[in-house]
Amino acid sequence: MPASVRGPATLAVERHSDGLVVLTFSVPDHRHNVITPRFLADLAAALDEIEQSSGRLIPRGLVLRSGREGSFFAGADVSRLDGLRDLPPAEIGRLCDAGRNLFARLSAAAWPSVALIDGVCLGGGLELALACDLRVATAASHTSLGCPEVKLGLLPGWGGTVRLSRLIGPGPAIELVAAGESIDAWAAARLGLVDACVPPAEALETARRLIDLEITTGGIAARRRRQAEPVPLDPQERAFLEATTAAVIFGRTGGHYPAPPAILQTILAGSDVDATAAGGIESQAFARLAATPVSAQLVRVFRIGDRNRHDSGVAGDVTPAEVRTAAVIGAGIMGAGIAASHLRADVPVTLVDVNAQALAASVPGILDEAAWDRATKRTDPSRAVALSGALRTATHLAAIAGADIVIESVTERPDVKTAVLADIERTVGPGAVIATNTSTNPIARLAEALADPARFCGLHFFNPVRRMTLVEVVRGPATGDATVATAVALAKRLGKCPIVVRDSPGFLVNRVLMPYLHEATELVREGIDPARIDRVARGFGMPMGPIELYDMIGLDTAFYAGLVLSAAYGDRIEASPLIPALVKSGRLGRKTGSGFYRYSGADQKARIIGVDPDGRTVLDRYAVAPRETTDRTLADRLLLPMLLEAVRALDEGIVRDPADIDLAVIHALGFPPFRGGLLAWADALGPAEVLRRLEPLADLGPRMIPTERLTAIARSGGRFST
């Protein structure tokens, strides 16, 4: 038991009767502990007090732990990063040096220090733990460790690259920092990142034993010496590491993100010198990255994502209904994926389909997907068995009577959907939320089948459900606030990013996507090689080009979606004659082994062999006069119609906030995060530059005509994004 307790604002100092000193921190006004200037000041003051009183009572050891369950430290306060860009590089470097030197005091004292890691330990939090002599992690599901700074376009700036490379080696350090992914406590123990992995109740006692062991063996001195010296690296090993890692990094980033290659060079350069010099190298690298536009955009994307995580989806104080059980109607690809998503989130789900054979066939895949382990990249069989008890299947709707939310995911035919929705309403209780998973059907029209449309909304999941994080929560004219709030809360529980959109043809994502796809077909009609179109799109930062995307979606699926959008926005999104021509010829994309391209097989994993020459013959019948097109103007033609449609969606109030458009295109379309989203990209160009680029394309018709909002913003010098 502690002999005394004293506490400043963010941490408490406990002196135990056996000489152990425990610092317990809890940073107020944040959901997780984050490193704030106040915490740094409190830590410095606490270390001063311990050192000044050590003449009276030399501590046996120092233990750092969190007073907040599930959160050691989630990193630095991201809201303060914006201010860094206003500082000169030398001042940023000085701040890095100050933080690193403060943390270094933990392993410079006459007594050993131990970090007890329970919960998330990320970024600056991991650097704080690394600065201690020893680390004990709890074997709890909520414990994870990582360096996510790269996702903000940065690298660790408080000694992370210095200490990590000396602890686990430069190669593993580069992989951990450049990837930015978290690992659990057991993986951290295998890597040598922590010294013990124990149940939470045993953590403090384990720290005591480690301290006693290190005092007895004198091991702390050897640890501190290794942390201070250069890291010996064989020249051939170094050359191999540098070449292979650089290639992997380029493959992941396409050269668009400066942080990963900077991490590689910083860790390698820091390994050649002592820790003090390596710290200077790290500070300079952090300062350079903090000034890049890429970091500015990535920080903004993080912040608007964080705003989304706290947004209820409605104005005012509306409490979402509790979802204890869910039901999904339809065991097709989407229905199965939605059911698996619920199981992964520990939400019991009932899956209903009138086809008993299809229903039974879907179960193994649902359990495999629900039990997928991202770390091992395979299904955890024991987890699949455990989840099987939470999945019920039935061929009749009576099985859903007690569900709190029912998601209809049958065929996209409106007559079938309305009939199923009416049956659902007659079956469930009056408080149940009813949702439809649809990408094309207007919510208002489907709601006509219901007696109480206030409890009905759209929940548009994207395929494949496990990998696609965006969910469009579609609000119909009669949808109630409580329904929207419940749908948003459930989507977040499933680990998704929900965007509330107003009912309209194509909702938001498909409406913005279709101009991109349509323009690609017009370029093909003008004789532009599909491979060149895709190469330019990937060069901009898109994960795949529009022609590849057409083939992946399926040309038949794209055809029907195109009809809906063409009927609504025909003056801007005309139905391309190429798509029905390819569909009639039996070329549906990857699933048939041929579309715009030929493939090595007939599935989504098949590789592109080349442009289908027979398909080219089909397309040549619809050729139009070519235009002189550079790669720059080709990119403009693909992307500017997307931007204009997004601006029109703003004008029509389709979304509640401009930032929702940027989040949607990043999460659903893979729009490059380093560009910040469509609207942020337009702001980076400048609205006046957007107008200049549109001017020579005006003869292409309404799809290239600036909106009044664009013209007004260009005139006023304003911005699209927030």
Q: What is the pLDDT of residues 345-357, one digit of tens each?
A: 999 999 999 999 9
Given a cut of 70, whether residue 448 has pLDDT beyond it is yes
DSSP 550-563: HHHH-HHHHHHHHH
Give residue 6's pLDDT band: very low, low, confident or very high (50, 70, 90).
Answer: very low
**Measured distance CA(301)–CA(285) in Å, rounded:** 22
Q: Decide the pairing of beta strands 456-461 and 470-475.
A: antiparallel
CATH number at residue 539: 1.10.1040.50
Buried b (16+ CB within 10 A) or exposed e, 50-67: beeeeeeeebbbbbbbbe
With 0-12 CB in 10 A as exposed, 13-18 as middle and 19+ as buried, what is 613?
Answer: exposed
Domain membership of residue 581 as a residue range: 510-716
340 part of a folded domain: yes
The verdict on 468 and 526 lying in the same domain is no
* Over residues 276-302, mean pLDDT: 96
Tell me: the pLDDT tens digits for 455-495?
A: 999 999 999 999 999 999 999 999 999 999 999 999 999 99
| The one catalytic residue among 342, 460, 518, 667 | 460
Q: Quick one: what percent of the chain has pLDDT higher than 90?
A: 81
Given a cut of 90, whether residue 292 has pLDDT beyond it is yes
302 part of a folded domain: no
Question: Which of residues 450, 479, 503 is at a domain's end?
Answer: 503
**Measured distance CA(700)–CA(629) in Å, rounded:** 13
686: left (phi over 0), alpha (psi -120 to 50) or beta: left
Give me the pLDDT at residue 7, please: 47
Tell me: the pLDDT tens digits for 182-201?
A: 999 999 999 999 999 999 99
Give me the pLDDT at residue 31, please: 83
Q: Which of 149-153, 369-373, 624-628 has the highest mean pLDDT?
A: 149-153
Question: Which of residues 453, 477, 503 is at a domain's end?
Answer: 503
Whether 709 and 651 have beta carbons less than 8 Å apart is answered as yes
Give me the pLDDT at residue 618, please: 87
Q: Quick one: what percent of the chain has pLDDT higher than 70?
A: 98
Give me the pLDDT at residue 54, please: 57
Single out the residue of 290, 241, 289, 235 nearest to residue 262, CA to CA: 289
The verdict on 352 and 452 lying in the same domain is yes
The verdict on 496 and 528 lying in the same domain is no
Given a cut of 90, whether residue 582 has pLDDT beyond it is yes
Given a cut of 50, whether residue 3 has pLDDT beyond it is no
With 0-12 CB in 10 A as exposed, 13-18 as middle and 19+ as buried, what is 332?
Answer: middle
CATH number at residue 335: 3.40.50.720
443 part of a folded domain: yes
Buried b (16+ CB within 10 A) or exposed e, 169-185: bbbebbbbbbbbebbbb
Phi first, then psi: give them for residue 201, nearest 5 degrees.
-65, -20
What does the block give as tokens for 424?
A: 């659902």
* Over residues 644-672, mean pLDDT: 96
The verdict on 484 and 575 lying in the same domain is no
Given a cut of 50, whether residue 2 has pLDDT beyond it is no
**Measured distance CA(300)–CA(247) in Å, rounded:** 28
Given a cut of 80, whether residue 620 has pLDDT beyond it is yes
**Looking at 261-384, which runs of residues are DSSP E strands?**
326-329, 349-352, 372-373, 378-379
Phi first, then psi: give them for residue 529, nearest 5 degrees.
-60, 125
Tell me: the pLDDT tens digits for 40-88?
A: 999 999 999 888 875 566 788 999 999 998 899 998 888 888 788 889 9
The verdict on 159 and 185 lying in the same domain is yes
Give me the pLDDT at residue 440, please: 85
Residue 386, CA distances (Å) to 225, 389, 707 in order:
47, 6, 54
The verdict on 217 and 95 lying in the same domain is yes
Given a cut of 90, whether residue 165 has pLDDT beyond it is yes
298 part of a folded domain: no
314 part of a folded domain: no
Whether 102 and 63 have beta carbons less than 8 Å apart is answered as no
**Measured distance CA(497)–CA(585) in Å, rounded:** 38
The verdict on 33 and 92 lying in the same domain is yes
Count how many domains the chain has.
3
The verdict on 528 and 408 lying in the same domain is no
Give me the pLDDT at residue 4, please: 47
Catalytic status, residue 32: no
The verdict on 564 and 615 lying in the same domain is yes
The verdict on 605 and 462 lying in the same domain is no
Mean pLDDT, the chain, whole residue set: 93
Question: Which of residues 456, 473, 503 is at a domain's end?
Answer: 503
The verdict on 541 and 678 lying in the same domain is yes
320 part of a folded domain: no
